[in-house]
Amino acid sequence: MNKKDYLKNPVEHIGIKSFDSTKIINAMRKMSFSARDTAHAADLLGEMLNDAGCTIFLCIAGSTSAAGCMQIYADMVKYNMVDAVVATGATIVDMDFFEALGFEHYRGSPNVDDGQLRQLYIDRIYDTFIDEEQLQICDNTVKKIADSLEPRPYSSREFIREMGRFLVDNAKKRDSLVQAAYENDVPVFCPAFSDSSAGFGLVKHQLENPADHVSIDSVKDFRELTQIKINSPVSGLFMIGGGVPKNFVQDTVVCAEVLGKKVDMHKYAVQITVADVRDGACSSSTLAEARSWGKVAAGRNQMVYAEATSVLPLIISYAYHKKDWQNRKKHHWTKIFQ
Amino acid sequence: MNKKDYLKNPVEHIGIKSFDSTKIINAMRKMSFSARDTAHAADLLGEMLNDAGCTIFLCIAGSTSAAGCMQIYADMVKYNMVDAVVATGATIVDMDFFEALGFEHYRGSPNVDDGQLRQLYIDRIYDTFIDEEQLQICDNTVKKIADSLEPRPYSSREFIREMGRFLVDNAKKRDSLVQAAYENDVPVFCPAFSDSSAGFGLVKHQLENPADHVSIDSVKDFRELTQIKINSPVSGLFMIGGGVPKNFVQDTVVCAEVLGKKVDMHKYAVQITVADVRDGACSSSTLAEARSWGKVAAGRNQMVYAEATSVLPLIISYAYHKKDWQNRKKHHWTKIFQ
Amino acid sequence: MNKKDYLKNPVEHIGIKSFDSTKIINAMRKMSFSARDTAHAADLLGEMLNDAGCTIFLCIAGSTSAAGCMQIYADMVKYNMVDAVVATGATIVDMDFFEALGFEHYRGSPNVDDGQLRQLYIDRIYDTFIDEEQLQICDNTVKKIADSLEPRPYSSREFIREMGRFLVDNAKKRDSLVQAAYENDVPVFCPAFSDSSAGFGLVKHQLENPADHVSIDSVKDFRELTQIKINSPVSGLFMIGGGVPKNFVQDTVVCAEVLGKKVDMHKYAVQITVADVRDGACSSSTLAEARSWGKVAAGRNQMVYAEATSVLPLIISYAYHKKDWQNRKKHHWTKIFQ
Amino acid sequence: MNKKDYLKNPVEHIGIKSFDSTKIINAMRKMSFSARDTAHAADLLGEMLNDAGCTIFLCIAGSTSAAGCMQIYADMVKYNMVDAVVATGATIVDMDFFEALGFEHYRGSPNVDDGQLRQLYIDRIYDTFIDEEQLQICDNTVKKIADSLEPRPYSSREFIREMGRFLVDNAKKRDSLVQAAYENDVPVFCPAFSDSSAGFGLVKHQLENPADHVSIDSVKDFRELTQIKINSPVSGLFMIGGGVPKNFVQDTVVCAEVLGKKVDMHKYAVQITVADVRDGACSSSTLAEARSWGKVAAGRNQMVYAEATSVLPLIISYAYHKKDWQNRKKHHWTKIFQ
């Protein structure tokens, strides 16, 4: 097989408006196990949307954007369900920005010869394929953006905002998360920004500009994210996967305290994950455990044990059709940094 | 809290006709990860339904019947999607027959004081509660049925058929799997029948009738199930969970060989499970592994990694609305044993 | 590759006397996560061994016998750490009895062409290979034993006892679990006995003797196992995997109650498993949940989240070297059935 | 219970010299499932140690340092088994540096009232407790170090080196990973450094020094780590958990390519994890998948499916006693940055 044979069936991103999951969620609420947990997660998102002044943080780890959930995240921003995003670099750069540049992910298989893929410059994420040559164009676009900026330390949020600005004029695919966030004043943070396609571009940028260059200051990220929390009397977390985004956003409560500001714990928390609590890692730690750290309040949190592509579309389609977002005021958190 | 406070919110079983998952499954087919696996499982069930002469075995392990999927299984029989059932004793007796007698499961929580539940005679399955006193009535009903039968070894299928016959006159809830199977000549096998509420009733029956009593011969189960396989040029497996049912039905291919009959491997196989392949147990073993044993053919099988309550309703609602079952001939396998 | 190339490296069963894990377990007791759980499981086994009159039930599900733990189970019987065994048919017949007949399991790989294995009549369990032609000899041996017995319903325990008797004269490998259990009056139960190599042999036996034959009555298994529980003022469970064995042995407490005998819950319980509690199945259900059913007492139980081959050798080597078994009286439970 | 009652049993870190796992690993090599995988991982580490010029990267995610494995990591550096470390901020700052300051972790339980813990300022990691007031001292120490440095962007490696220098004079507990790495010229990278106790200290530092301050440039981390890879003709990865460290170190191969340097893929790779491949996340992605990305070579890699506290001590004790590290030349990679 040649490269084209592998890369012929693009992943198509599910649209939350294209079907209505209201009846399913309503039925799942009366069931048990993961079905009921899924309905409860949808209900908690509804409570967040209806809680006046509540800042909703969307946290994304893992590869669900490559796997067909990319439009969901962009729509959550567009339909005012999200006030700030904390994500892995891969989600924001390698997947979302990458598709905004006109590239695609492809439906593949986990049962393939990875040596052959390597020779063809095809990268694999479980059952999904990517053209590595296109990824390199993505790297270089990040470099070009860095080259165009004033040399100084930036938060990842500041840099991603420039990526959004770039897309306004240059996107081949409208409707990316990066662009929607830019246009809606929703800040996007990647606490480990270099750990992505952006890292390659920025390393190149720094090596070509050894004396004076853009750097990414993750401390500044933490300051800015905490500032949002300090300005939010009420907050909720909607998390896909765990990892650094989960820990980072939870820590804002503690960070505010460190800075002498008394803030409330995150009042709501939902996490969709397959991670297992018994390994003691943050990704898998329960939301009850987060309470001991003073990060997440008791009572309004739900772990949903599922691979997210199977339940997230149901939850967000439900939220879209329930329309709680329609009367919600916009936070425009980006503006506090201007 | 007293007993009534714990047992006030019954589990309501999701109806596959009450919503239409066609659009969701169609969208999931173009995604990746578990979403695409779910769509592929739905497509394979469709292929089984359209393959003239294919015998479809439904295998059920775990507690999904208690968790809101009970009506799905009954409807699969009613709408001619299933020709034989292989299940755990708990699924058939403690859950399905139990509710047919007029009892219910209740929505509870995993975070409770199990000592208190014990005192109140409430049994817990993860987040679901059962009134143990009602379970005892179920045990006794099984005993009464045994008392009424001619003393000799029975296959579990023969005995469950008597339970179905009993329900025709005595059911408080119509539409149980046991009754639907009886009425549609769909045989139901429990290879570990005593490992259930039925076990309690049968032990009592034997102790009261030490000389001459009903016994359950699991060898006969194996003979009968293999006979169905021998009569089926084509067969497919639709499995929720793994355990004994999965192994038992797969082994029929080998058993036929042992008996000198050359039969084809199961042509189709779907399994929905959260079990992990790396522990080497049968529940988690891949369908590829089953091929080495000569049990499952290559090419038309799919593992779906999910807790079944979250994806099974989507798959079966899709199958129901696609209507492939309408033109299917009925096998009436029960009749070959008469 | 031909068959010999696949079947050249036999699995060698680890010996609990060949190394001393005392220091490791002592260190693990002061750690966290699975290390501490492992040490705690070893301590609970020690408590069971020191509790005068405590009946210890060993429950085995999964394929650890094929994977190098077979000698551990035989030694637990030999060194008086176990009073009754409840296991899957595969563990007892396909693995243990199979090797007693002189056959072996082979170290293989999960990354192979299962179609090729099929052609060579090699069966695969994850990364382990079996010669299917040898398995058929095992089936036939079971048939021969059945042919030699008086036709009537047997409990699996009665039948397995005959297999042990057969091995006394015919074993190629001494020291199997089946033979050790026979020689030490330790009863062995397989509640789903037909779901194994034995099933093939017994089906053949019944077909050749349609009028008068051996049958396996799993109700009798339940009666006998409950009788042991009724005679044990104190009892403990040591479980590898879950499945039918776990549920069956736990249910003896309830069964005793059904029979009008007031018995205590199982006082101790250890389970080594990788199953995940969130799917609501019995294999994964916590021992706390079992308390709500009145099966397992609070306080002295431990789930160890691990694939058993990695931690079981440490636990049993520790128990062997601690020598608590030396002063233990033997129960000889087999004798109550004679 | 008051605070002292919760914090009375400190976690004691297992010593790889205090027991000898050679016999166990040798036995596990002839078994199957995770036992054999564990032995294979130990063998691959041996191969890395014996491959002249091979740079060994130790990657640590999750909380094993808090759970009793802290001394293992320090000893791997001390006994020349590791040439560079890539870890989460929590591992390096909240756990290792924290204990170097004289504090401890405590053995607790997952079944506690997290609200009560919150009131007492006790943080919980699954079954392990931490005194949050001591963590704040750790934060402040990081701040003091930052205050003492020339204001400019630092890589996390540069900053952690200053933490090591600080410990030489101020450590209450010798033998920390941070100090051992400093003394042995082993660079330590935290690609998401702010996502830890260090983040709190650095935020404070920046707020008190708004004009001129220390920042942490994760792009510089990536440049430096890639420089080590470029200077290493051969390299191997020994990974506990996944997350950002796993991805970051794997990406150095691609980053080198981006910079126009042709380097070989990582020749060896071991990962110990409980993550499940089917969720498509990096933590769980197989090493075969990494091959498609050109990151990890075929043939010499092993996933060990286990919670690390249970198998890591066996693997490293084996490596220690096999003494392959004795003849190994030291890389002193820190020196290339001076």
pLDDT tens digit string along D125-144?
A: 999 999 999 999 999 999 99
Query: C47 is written with which tokens?
Result: 């408590």
pLDDT tens digit string along A92-108?
A: 999 999 999 999 999 99
d(CA C334, CA C181): 9
D68 near C CB under 8 A = yes
Give the contacts of D169 (CB within 8 A, at least 6 positions apart). Answer: none
Least confident of A40-49, C20-29, C212-221, D296-305: D296-305
Q: Which residues pair with B85 in a beta bridge?
A: B58, B188
Query: What ipTM score was computed for the predicted complex, to two decimals?
Result: 0.97
* Statement: the pTM of the whole predicted model exceeds 0.90: yes
Closest chain C residue to the Cα of D71, Cα to Cα = C31
Answer yes or no: is pLDDT of B55 > 80. Answer: yes
Answer yes or no: is pLDDT of A137 > 90. Answer: yes
Closest CA to B172 of B198, B132, B137, B200: B137
Answer yes or no: is pLDDT of C281 > 80. Answer: no
pLDDT at position D281: 74
* B223-235 average pLDDT score: 96
Q: Which of D295, D323, D330, D335 is catalytic?
A: D295
CA distance B156 to chain A (A): 28
| A278/C32 touch (CB, cutoff 8 Å), yes or no | no
* C100-129 average pLDDT score: 95
D292 near A CB under 8 A = yes
DSSP 8-state symbol, B296: B
Closest CA to A101 of A206, A19, A174: A174
d(CA B92, CA B146): 16
Closest CA to C337 of C179, C193, C147, C189: C189
Closest chain A residue to the Cα of B111, Cα to Cα = A288
Closest CB to B279 among C200, C274, C279? C274
Interface of A with D in 195-224 (CB under 8 A): 195, 199-200, 202-204, 206-207, 214-223
pLDDT tens digit string along C213-251?
A: 999 999 999 999 999 999 998 999 999 999 899 999 999
Q: What is the DSSP string of D30-92?
A: TS-HHHHHHHHHHHHHHHHHHSTTEEEEEEE-SSTIIIIIHHHHHHHHHTT--SEEEE-HIII
pLDDT at position A36: 98
Answer yes or no: is pLDDT of C65 > 80. Answer: yes
B326 near D CB under 8 A = no
Mean of the per-residue pLDDT values for chain B? 95
* D110-138 average pLDDT score: 95
Closest CB to C33 among A33, A279, A305? A279
pLDDT at position C283: 75
| A258/D219 touch (CB, cutoff 8 Å), yes or no | no
Reported as type and span, the H/E element at residue C129 is strand C128-131
Reported as type and span, the H/E element at residue C179 is helix C177-183
Answer yes or no: is pLDDT of D272 > 80. Answer: yes
Alpha-carbon dihedral sign for residues B322, B326, B331, B335 = positive
| B279/C62 touch (CB, cutoff 8 Å), yes or no | yes
A152 near D CB under 8 A = no
Answer yes or no: is pLDDT of C33 > 90. Answer: yes
Reported as type and span, the H/E element at residue B258 is helix B243-258
Q: Which comes out higher in pLDDT, residue D289 or D29? A: D29
* A107-124 average pLDDT score: 94
Give the contacts of D151 (CB within 8 A, at least 6 positions apart). Answer: D209, D212, D213, D214
d(CA A174, CA A184): 14
Chain C: touching chains (3 or more CB pairs < 8 Å): A, B, D
Closest chain B residue to the Cα of A129, Cα to Cα = B32
C275 confidence band (pLDDT: 50, 70, 90): confident
pLDDT at position B313: 98
Give the distance from CA D107 to its chain's centroid: 21
Q: What is the DSSP string of B106-152?
A: EE--SSS-HHHHHHTTEEEETTEEEEHHHHHHHHHHHHHHHHTSPSS
B1 near C CB under 8 A = no
D289 confidence band (pLDDT: 50, 70, 90): confident
Answer yes or no: is pLDDT of B284 > 90. Answer: no
Mutate to test the interface with A, among B14, B25, B28, B33 (most CBs of A within 10 A): B33
* B168-190 average pLDDT score: 97
Distances C336 to C56, C86, C168 between C-alpha atoms, Å:
16, 17, 22
* D284-293 average pLDDT score: 85
Query: D147 is written with which tokens?
Result: 């205050």
* D142-155 average pLDDT score: 98
Q: Which of C246, C267, C295, C329 is catalytic?
A: C295
Chain C residues touching B247 at Cβ < 8 A: 90, 195
Is residue B247 a contact partner of residue C195, using CB atoms and an 8 Å limit? yes
Answer yes or no: is pLDDT of D2 > 90. Answer: yes
Query: B185 is written with which tokens?
Result: 């000549």
| D310/C38 touch (CB, cutoff 8 Å), yes or no | yes
B288 confidence band (pLDDT: 50, 70, 90): confident
* D321-326 average pLDDT score: 98
Active site residue C229: no
pLDDT tens digit string along A248-302?
A: 999 999 999 888 999 999 999 999 998 877 777 777 788 888 898 989 988 899 9
pLDDT tens digit string along B12-47?
A: 999 999 999 999 999 999 999 999 999 999 999 999
CA distance B247 to chain C (A): 7
DSSP 8-state symbol, B69: I
CA distance C324 to chain B (A): 30
Closest chain D residue to the Cα of A155, Cα to Cα = D217
pLDDT at position D274: 86
* A34-39 average pLDDT score: 98
Query: A197 is written with which tokens?
Result: 């396609």
pLDDT at position B226: 97
DSSP 8-state symbol, C277: G
Phi, psi of D234 (to 5 degrees): -130, 145
Closest CB to B276 among D32, D276, D280? D276
Chain D residues touching C63 at Cβ < 8 A: 33
Q: Directed axis angle between helix A132-147 and helix A156-170, to 10°? A: 110
* B185-199 average pLDDT score: 95
Interface of D with A in 22-41 (CB under 8 A): none
Give the contacts of D125 (CB within 8 A, at least 6 positions apart). Answer: A280, A285, A289, C32, D63, D66, D67, D105
pLDDT at position D287: 84
Pure H helices in D209-331: 218-230, 243-258, 287-292, 308-322
d(CA A282, CA D62): 7
